[in-house]
């Protein structure tokens, strides 16, 4: 009998090539493969000529559609769904069946789709990831398969990868350990790399390092798709991550590797270990910091008091909080303060209250922010100094929350803050909405509309209000940082590159905007941030000199979803 198995190969967005002993069987195998691959599937938009060439007749309804008509059909379907999670699940399935249509749909109304593709809906998406998992996307590198990482990464379908977002699922937003469900974060982040920075979907790769989970509800769930085991920790964990990084370096020497939602201690350790070894950054530490500081620069201009004169209370001193504090210190030093003077402007509060020298188990980032007990004469004892007491005694002009503690910014605290400054800057940044330190409507009410507010999650019902308001979302920073680093040919991502990104973001809001440009302008924001980051990479000596016309080339290289 002749061998009827077809040998099929294609590149994303290009025609399919195949050969086989039985041309009819080969044709139909190739046709079904073409429809099954989200990078090549066009659905009803395959033309008559393409249907003839690839044997698609009968596999598709006879109507020949357009991308615009397909978007309209999906919009109607979305409008009929009952809630945000149902729409999230619908969009995930669409992405797994037709990448161009998915990204064109998102691009058609970014303000509508950003909260569905990422925060806040992605939080529930991670919690219920196993419930809606249907089709392979990205890579699950699990502890039991640790000796096969090189072979897994060797897949020729991954040859074009330029950007990897990786998580181990331990600290998903403010929701804690979600294990394999944490894959929703890399998938969502990379969708935004495509939407905002124009990175082709064939050039991005989400990865979940599955080292188990300590979330017993996940392990006991019969639908859970991850490795059912307590988390691997210590030297074994470090060795596993090293295996992963070494394999990535060998496979893609110039790839950008972005770390997402690792627990605080691991987040800092891994960033410190690998930041000088490959092109890498941690979005929770550096991206959050640059976004918060960039928005803060925009906010303080509205107060009439420069940042160097502001007192800042930081509620939450984990990876994100310490990252924000570190960038604030560097910015204040660049603006003329000494490092000691800069640190004196920041009061950090963690689970044991105000961070004070001599406390046990302080991280390096916390220790750098710890207050001297001698300056706290008359305060409550260290370990019991609350947010309320700190605000009462410090009278800050800026209050930033990255604690994951819902409602922590109480009416009494906010009113006390407003009594000491006409325009208090208040940023409840914890995600998702259920973990926010305050509702912005309350903050505006408690300050008679004088507060300048930045939130971590979107609050659409407040859009269009005259008050200064912004969603302080990392999407304003990380796509541009990644695009700029890649465009410049950078070998490292430096702190000054993030500083350049923050300063650029802080100056982008127009006269009719809030604190930040509108979500609909995110593609231009990414381009402007990318240019600043690329220039800073060259100034830092981590990228070669610019070629003539590089800015125009960068803009023209950004991918726009369209069928070939």
Q: Which residues are catalytic?
A: 118, 189
Token digits for 61? 């309804």
Task: Tell me if 431 is assigned to a ligand binding site.
Answer: yes
Token digits for 387? 């947010």
Task: Tell me if 134 is assigned to a ligand binding site.
Answer: no
Distance (Å, whole) CA 326 – CA 282: 14
DSSP H or E segment with residue 267: helix 264-274
Q: Measuring CA to CA, how many Å separate 547 from each of 488, 540, 544, 551?
A: 9, 17, 9, 9
Q: 372 and 365 in contact (C-beta within 8 Å)?
A: no
Task: Tell me if 171 is assigned to a ligand binding site.
Answer: yes
What residue spans of 198-338 are helical by DSSP H? 216-220, 234-251, 264-274, 288-303, 319-334
Distance (Å, whole) CA 141 – CA 147: 10
Task: Tell me if 495 is assigned to a ligand binding site.
Answer: no
Burial class (CB in 10 A: 0-12, 13-18, 19+), 19: exposed
Q: Helix, strand, or coil here: 6? A: coil
Distance of CA 100 to the CA centre of its chain: 21
Token digits for 124? 């529930």
Q: Compute how many other C-beta atoms are within 10 angstroms of the C-beta atom of residue 7.
A: 12
Q: Measuring CA to CA, how many Å separate 347 from each of 296, 313, 336, 395, 416?
A: 16, 5, 20, 11, 16
Q: 495 and 334 in contact (C-beta within 8 Å)?
A: no
Distance (Å, whole) CA 319 – CA 321: 6
Task: Tell me if 254 is assigned to a ligand binding site.
Answer: no
User: Which residues, including other chains, have CB under 8 Å from residue 162's CB and lie 6 or more apart?
Assistant: 199, 203, 204, 252, 254, 255, 256, 486
Q: Measuring CA to CA, how many Å separate 25 from each of 41, 397, 409, 557?
A: 20, 71, 66, 39
Task: Tell me if 72 is assigned to a ligand binding site.
Answer: no
Annotated binding site for a divalent metal cation: 260-261, 284
Annotated binding site for (S)-malate: 171, 431, 473
Annotated binding site: 171, 260-261, 284, 431, 473
């Amino acid at each position: 009998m002749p061998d009827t198995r077809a040998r099929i190969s294609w590149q994303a967005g290009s025609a399919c090539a195949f050969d086989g002993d039985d041309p009819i069987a080969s044709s139909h195998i190739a046709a079904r493969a073409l429809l099954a691959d989200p990078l090549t599937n066009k659905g009803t938009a395959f033309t008559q000529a393409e249907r003839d060439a690839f044997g698609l007749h009968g596999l598709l309804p006879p109507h020949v559609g357009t991308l615009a008509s397909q978007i309209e059909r999906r919009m109607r379907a979305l409008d009929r769904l009952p809630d945000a999670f149902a729409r999230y699940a619908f969009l995930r399935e669409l992405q797994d069946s037709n990448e161009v249509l998915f990204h064109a749909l998102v691009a058609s109304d970014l303000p509508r789709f950003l909260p569905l593709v990422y925060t806040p809906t992605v939080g529930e998406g991670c919690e219920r990831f196993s419930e809606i998992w249907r089709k392979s996307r990205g890579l699950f590198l699990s502890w039991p398969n640790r000796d096969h990482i090189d072979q897994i990464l060797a897949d020729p379908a991954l040859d074009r990868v330029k950007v990897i977002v990786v998580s181990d699922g331990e600290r998903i937003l403010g929701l804690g350990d979600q294990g394999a469900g944490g894959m929703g974060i890399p998938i969502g982040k990379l969708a935004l790399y495509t939407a905002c920075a124009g990175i082709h979907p064939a050039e991005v790769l989400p990865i979940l390092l599955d080292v188990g989970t300590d979330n017993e509800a996940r392990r006991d769930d019969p639908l859970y798709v991850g490795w059912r085991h307590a988390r691997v920790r210590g030297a074994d964990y470090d060795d596993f991550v090293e295996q992963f990084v070494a394999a990535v370096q060998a496979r893609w020497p110039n790839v950008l590797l972005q770390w997402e939602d690792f627990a605080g201690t691991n987040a800092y350790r891994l960033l410190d270990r690998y930041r000088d070894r490959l092109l890498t950054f941690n979005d929770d530490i550096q991206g959050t910091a640059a976004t918060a500081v960039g928005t803060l620069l925009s906010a303080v201009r509205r107060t009439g008091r420069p940042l160097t004169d502001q007192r800042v209370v930081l509620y939450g001193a984990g990876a994100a909080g310490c990252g924000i504090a570190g960038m604030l210190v560097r910015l204040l030093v660049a603006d003329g303060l000494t490092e000691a003077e800069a640190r004196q402007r920041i009061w950090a509060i963690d689970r044991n209250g105000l961070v004070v020298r001599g406390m046990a188990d302080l991280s390096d980032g916390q220790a750098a922010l710890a207050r001297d007990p001698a300056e706290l004469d008359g305060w409550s004892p260290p370990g019991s100094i609350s947010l309320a007491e700190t605000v009462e005694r410090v009278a800050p002009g800026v209050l930033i929350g990255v604690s994951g503690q819902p409602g922590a910014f109480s009416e009494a605290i906010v009113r006390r803050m407003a009594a000491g400054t006409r325009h208090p800057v208040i940023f409840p940044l914890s995600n998702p909405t259920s973990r926010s330190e305050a509702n912005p409507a309350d903050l505006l009410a408690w300050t008679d509309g004088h507060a300048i507010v930045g939130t971590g999650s979107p609050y659409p019902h407040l859009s269009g209000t005259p008050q200064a308001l912004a969603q302080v979302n990392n999407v304003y920073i990380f796509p541009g940082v990644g695009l700029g680093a890649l465009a410049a040919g950078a070998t490292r991502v430096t702190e000054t590159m993030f500083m350049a990104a923050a300063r650029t973001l802080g100056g982008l809001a127009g006269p009719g905007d809030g604190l930040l440009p509108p979500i609909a302008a995110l593609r231009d924001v990414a381009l402007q941030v990318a240019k600043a980051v690329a220039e800073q990479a060259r100034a830092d000596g981590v990228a070669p000199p610019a070629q003539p016309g590089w800015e125009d080339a960068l803009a023209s290289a950004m991918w726009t979803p369209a069928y070939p």
